[in-house]
Structure 1
Amino acid sequence: MIDVQRLRVLRVVAEHGSFNQAAAALRLTPSAVSQHVAALERSLGTQVVARSTRGVTLTQAGHIMVGAAEAVAAELEHAQQQVARLSTGRTQLSVATFTSGGRLLLPAALTRLTAVHPRTVLHIREGEPEDTLPLVRQGAVDLALAYHFDGPLPVGPGPSSRLEWTPLLEDPLHVVLPRVHRLADRDALDLAELAAEPWVLGCLKTEAYLRRYAERAGFDPEVRGTTTDYFFARSLVAAGMGISLIPSIALAPEIPGLCTVPIKSPGPIRHIGVATISRDDRPHVTTFIRALREQALQHNGH
């Protein structure tokens, strides 16, 4: 029989790509982590990780076992919640969210949820999709409000087939300029027209996205600053540091002296949705996802 603790250790090793880093996260010694993985490999009769001087990577068998580890963790967490509900009569709902999406969609959706399920205890956890989507797979949160750009969901190591993705809205990115800028009166802009402009951006992923689109437009953008807050980035634009690329839902509140111009199609877009693991015995989760969809529809109607 496969030891659940060894599966947990493998999952953390896969997350960190290193025995040393996994050991620190698990509060074990690197030797103990290595022994757990070796024991798992002996029980399976095959390698689950490939070891090198640069760290460890999962083998095909390792990917399968990480998926099993996440499924086991999710089932145990779900069972614990069911037992807690029996003893307290209260239901727990744990929601992970990124900042701008949470600010737009969560308050009204939470109000709708508590009106239908008043005995639900809510827990909110902030984080970027690459951190929160694996938590959904592992059962550490019930759902995640997340986004992705052109590519697939950033689900991290292991299979993503257990995740159910419900699209909510599309969030186009806009150019933010000082109102006195020579291009401020345009109805729409091509990125190539901004090749000579300095940029200040609101997150590292937006910078990577800008560079990808700029490469298609034939230029290498001069990035003078990258922050972790879109409002801060817009404040730097207002201070004259450059221009910015901001998702539409992060354009409020307005900052005096700035204007917003759409990018000509096909422009960069964030796809916002909610990720969860489908279950039949969680009506509060179903209610909450419905509330998120209703709130997204209201936003799209404005």
Structure 2
Amino acid sequence: MIDVQRLRVLRAVADHGSFSKAAAALHLTPSAVSQHVAVLERSLGAQVVARSTRGVTLTQAGQIMVGAAESVAAELEQAKQRVEQLSTGRVQLTVATFTSGGRHLLPGALARLMATHPRTLIHVREGEPEDTLPLVRQGAVDLALAYHFDGPLPVGPGPSSSLQWAALLEDPLHVVMPKEHRLADRESLGIAELATEPWVLGCLKTEAYLRRYAERAGFEPEVRGTTTDYFFARSLVAAGMGISLIPSIALVPTVPGLCAVPIEPPTPTRHIGVATIGRRRDRSHVTTFIEALREQAMHQIGDPRTTTAGGSPATGSPA
């Protein structure tokens, strides 16, 4: 019989990439972690990690077992919630979300959920996708409102086959600049046309994305400021520090004196969706909440050229 604790240890090793870091996270000694893994390997008759001076990586057998470990953890957490529901009559829903998505999509979806399932106890956790998607796999949250750019989902170490991804909307990035800027009246702009402009960005991942697109266009962007808040970045643009690259749903609330210009294809775009574990989606309140998020997404994106120029936000279908 496979010990659940040893599966938990293996999952920590996969998440942290070394016995010592896994030991610190589990409050064990590295020797104890190594022993747990060795016993697991003997019981399976297969090597689950490949050891090297740079740390450890999962073998194919190890990937299978980490997937099983995450399924077991998710099942145990769901069983715990069902037991609590027996005694309290209330069902729990834990939602993880990134900031701009949570601000614009969650409130309406939560209101619909509470109207349909009034005895649902809701918890919301904020975090970036690379932090929240592993929590979905582990059963620590029921679902995550998340995004990715033109690469795969940032699910973290270990297998991601247990995740189900439901796309909600495409969130194209726009160039935000003062209305008196020489390019402000353009219908669209190519990234190469912005080679001499200074930049202020509202997200580290947006900066990395800009640098990739700028490299393709043959220039190195001059980044004068990087923040963790898109509204703050737009405020710095309004102060004259430079231009910015902002996702459509982060163009509200408005900042007077600014406009947003679409980027010509290939347009940098955030792909927003919701991640769940398959079994979690079978629960009626989870299904209701995902459908409510879809409705919010359908009415989210308007014309960003008007939403940042000081007018009221327009609504329409997502791009």
Residues 63 and 157, structure 1, Cα contact 8 Å, conserved in 2? no
What is the aligned partner in structure 1 of residue 288 from structure 2?
A: 287
How far the C-alpha of 1:173 sits from its partner, in A, is 0.2
What is the aligned partner in structure 1 of residue 30 from structure 2?
A: 30
Q: What does 1:183-194 align with in structure 2 at a 5 Å threshold?
A: 183-194=183-194
Residues 64 and 158, structure 1, Cα contact 8 Å, conserved in 2? no
Residues 67 and 162, structure 2, Cα contact 8 Å, conserved in 1? no
Show CA shifts across 1:29-87 (max 9, x none).
22222222222122222221222222221111111111111011011111111111111
What is the aligned partner in structure 2 of residue 47 from structure 1?
A: 47
Q: C-alpha distance in 1, partners of 2:282/2:83?
A: 13
Q: Say whether residues 1:166 and 2:166 are aligned partners.
A: yes
Residues 15 and 158, structure 2, Cα contact 8 Å, conserved in 1? no
Residues 249 and 300, structure 2, Cα contact 8 Å, conserved in 1? no
Q: C-alpha distance in 2, partners of 1:80/1:193?
A: 56
What is the aligned partner in structure 1 of residue 263 from structure 2?
A: 263
Q: C-alpha distance in 1, partners of 2:179/2:6?
A: 59
Residues 67 and 159, structure 1, Cα contact 8 Å, conserved in 2? yes
Q: What does 1:233-244 align with in structure 2 at a 5 Å threshold?
A: 233-244=233-244
What is the aligned partner in structure 1 of residue 92 from structure 2?
A: 92
Show CA shifts across 1:93-125 (max 9, x none).
000000000111100100000101000000001
What is the aligned partner in structure 2 of residue 133 from structure 1?
A: 133
Q: What does 1:44-193 align with in structure 2 at a 5 Å threshold?
A: 44-193=44-193
Letter in 1 for 2:73: A
TM-score, structure 1 normalization: 0.96
Residues 81 and 92, structure 1, Cα contact 8 Å, conserved in 2? yes
How far the C-alpha of 1:4 sits from its partner, in A, is 0.7
Residues 133 and 275, structure 2, Cα contact 8 Å, conserved in 1? yes
How far the C-alpha of 1:17 sits from its partner, in A, is 1.1
Q: C-alpha distance in 1, partners of 2:181/2:283?
A: 52
Residues 168 and 272, structure 1, Cα contact 8 Å, conserved in 2? yes
Q: C-alpha distance in 2, partners of 1:22/1:99?
A: 29
How far the C-alpha of 1:281 sits from its partner, in A, is 4.6
What is the aligned partner in structure 1 of residue 16 from structure 2?
A: 16
Q: Bigger shift: 113-122 or 157-166? A: 157-166
How far the C-alpha of 1:297 sits from its partner, in A, is 1.1
Q: Bigger shift: 70-79 or 259-268? A: 259-268
Q: Bigger shift: 186-195 or 41-50? A: 41-50
Letter in 1 for 2:295: E
What is the aligned partner in structure 2 of residue 227 from structure 1?
A: 227
How far the C-alpha of 1:174 sits from its partner, in A, is 0.5
Residues 95 and 124, structure 2, Cα contact 8 Å, conserved in 1? yes
Aligned-residue Cα RMSD (Å) equals 1.4
How far the C-alpha of 1:249 sits from its partner, in A, is 0.5
Change (3 A) 1:46 1:278: closer
Q: C-alpha distance in 2, partners of 1:229/1:46?
A: 47
Q: Say whether residues 1:297 and 2:261 are aligned partners.
A: no
Q: Bigger shift: 78-87 or 43-52? A: 43-52
Report SS of the residue matched to 1:285. Answer: helix
Q: C-alpha distance in 1, partners of 2:235/2:66?
A: 43
Report SS of the residue matched to 1:112. Answer: helix
Q: Say whether residues 1:203 and 2:196 are aligned partners.
A: no
What is the aligned partner in structure 1 of residue 308 from structure 2?
A: none
TM-score, structure 2 normalization: 0.91
Residues 71 and 138, structure 1, Cα contact 8 Å, conserved in 2? yes
Report SS of the residue matched to 2:25. Answer: helix
Aligned length: 302
Q: C-alpha distance in 2, partners of 1:181/1:282?
A: 51
Residues 129 and 154, structure 1, Cα contact 8 Å, conserved in 2? yes
How far the C-alpha of 1:278 sits from its partner, in A, is 2.5
Report SS of the residue matched to 1:299. Answer: coil
Q: C-alpha distance in 2, partners of 1:236/1:292?
A: 31
Gap runs ≥5 in structure 2:
302-314
